[in-house]
Structure 1
Amino acid sequence: MPKVLGGSLAAHRDEVRTRVFGALREQLYERGFDAVTLAGVAAAAGVGRSSIYNHFPDRQALLVAFVEHEAARYVTDLEAALAAAPTPTERLAVFARLQLQRLAEFHLPPGQALAQALDPAAYRRIAAHADPISDRLGTIVREGVAAGEMVAADPAVLVAMIAAALGARQIVDVPADELGGTIEAAVRIVLGMVRGT
């Protein structure tokens, strides 16, 4: 019988997922999704192959579960950071900074490539996790326009422009010692864009 990690079945499940997601995160960073296998993730996580298959029947299910976990963690972090920013402009700066930091950490193929790598149902589940984040950006922009802090433009257009700018991997694909400065430069540019300066 396989060893139960953590002393209970619930703790075992959480421990397996933590180890597996950590191993997957490293493999996505080092090799990309195309090179990920369940057997390779299980070995890197130090869990048995049968254990990983009990939790994730295939690599698409693993990726969907991983994205759901990461998105929930990110939304929690985002809400906490936004709560400390008193104005829409400051909230947009916080949002932009966190988005770019997460983009630097999170190595998945871009949307079109990911859509081709996954079946449509798996891709829809992953894409749905962007909705609360986009909604939060929309709220920040509408509040900024209403407060006169951002240009009086169609908020949907501003949101689309900001999202496109913050999704550009070229911003974060820089040496680690340059990342902080590059992110701050990008934040300044986004703030200038929404102020119309």
Structure 2
Amino acid sequence: MPKINAATVAEHRAQQRAALIRAAVDVLVEQGATAVTPAAVGARAGLARSSFYQYFPSAAALLAAIVEESFTAADAATAQALAEVGEPAARIDAFIRTELRIAAQGAHRPAKALMQAELPAECVARVHELHHQHYAPLQAALVDVTGDSAELTGQLVGGIVQAAMTAVEHGADPDHVADHALALLRNGL
């Protein structure tokens, strides 16, 4: 029987599952989606390949779990940042600053790597759906500020946010980048 390094079997299983996800994220970001195999992920996590299947039925299921967990964490951070903010312009500021803090932590790496991979259409559709849901609070704040519900405004602002995240991911200070991005947006809105 394998050694359990947790207070309960459930906690041990949660730790093992989390280790597999962390290992898969590393493999995904370093080598791409096709390298995320049960053998590679198990080896990176320090688990036998057969142990992989106790947690995920396939590499595709693991990739789906990565996507879901990444967006769940980002959504929680955004919800917390927006919880006390009522004024639309302040919601835009809070959303963008939170996105850049998340980018500085590397949390966008899995989604970015997956978007560059050749994935089945349903996986790509799910990533787009989660992305759209995640950006819904920003879109709502933009509508409140501009009175314009045009999706184009959201796409253009999203482009600025994406460029800001790329700068942060390349080492720029998140607060400095947020200040510049928000100055551009305030002048443009």
User: If the TM-score is normalised by the length of the shorter chain, which range does it land in?
Assistant: 0.7 to 0.9
Matches within 5 A, 1:33-182: 33-104=33-104, 105=106, 106-107=108-109, 108-109=112-113, 111=115, 113-114=116-117, 117-145=118-146, 152-168=147-163, 170-174=166-170, 176=171, 178-182=173-177
CA contact (8 A) 1:91 1:140 kept: yes
Unaligned runs of 5+ in 2: none
CA contact (8 A) 2:33 2:114 kept: no
CA contact (8 A) 1:37 1:59 kept: yes
- For the residues of structure 2 that align with 1:36 and 1:161, how far apart are their CA atoms? 33
CA contact (8 A) 2:97 2:174 kept: no
- Measured at CA, do residues 141 and 179 of structure 1 come closer, stay the same or move farther in structure 2, by a change above 3 Å? closer
Unaligned runs of 5+ in 1: 146-151
CA contact (8 A) 1:43 1:49 kept: yes
SS of 2:113 mapped into structure 1: coil
For 2:136, the aligned partner's letter is D
For 2:167, the aligned partner's letter is I
For 2:81, the aligned partner's letter is A
**TM-score, length basis structure 1:** 0.77
How far residue 35 of structure 1 moved from its aligned partner, in angstroms, is 3.6
For 1:24, the aligned partner's letter is A
How far residue 122 of structure 1 moved from its aligned partner, in angstroms, is 2.5
- For the residues of structure 1 that align with 2:128 and 2:65, how far apart are their CA atoms? 13
How far residue 5 of structure 1 moved from its aligned partner, in angstroms, is 4.5
How far residue 43 of structure 1 moved from its aligned partner, in angstroms, is 2.1
- For the residues of structure 2 that align with 1:185 and 1:171, how far apart are their CA atoms? 11
- For the residues of structure 2 that align with 1:183 and 1:110, how far apart are their CA atoms? 25
Q: Percent identity?
A: 25
**TM-score, length basis structure 2:** 0.80
Deviations 1:105-162 (A, max 9, x none): 1223373x33xx21122222333212321322222122223xxxxxx43442321211
CA contact (8 A) 1:5 1:12 kept: yes
Deviations 1:136-189 (A, max 9, x none): 2222122223xxxxxx43442321211222223643342x25454234322322
For 2:50, the aligned partner's letter is S
How far residue 79 of structure 1 moved from its aligned partner, in angstroms, is 0.6
How far residue 46 of structure 1 moved from its aligned partner, in angstroms, is 2.4
Matches within 5 A, 1:3-42: 3-42=3-42
CA RMSD of the aligned region, Å? 2.6
CA contact (8 A) 2:81 2:94 kept: yes
- For the residues of structure 2 that align with 1:163 and 1:54, how far apart are their CA atoms? 39
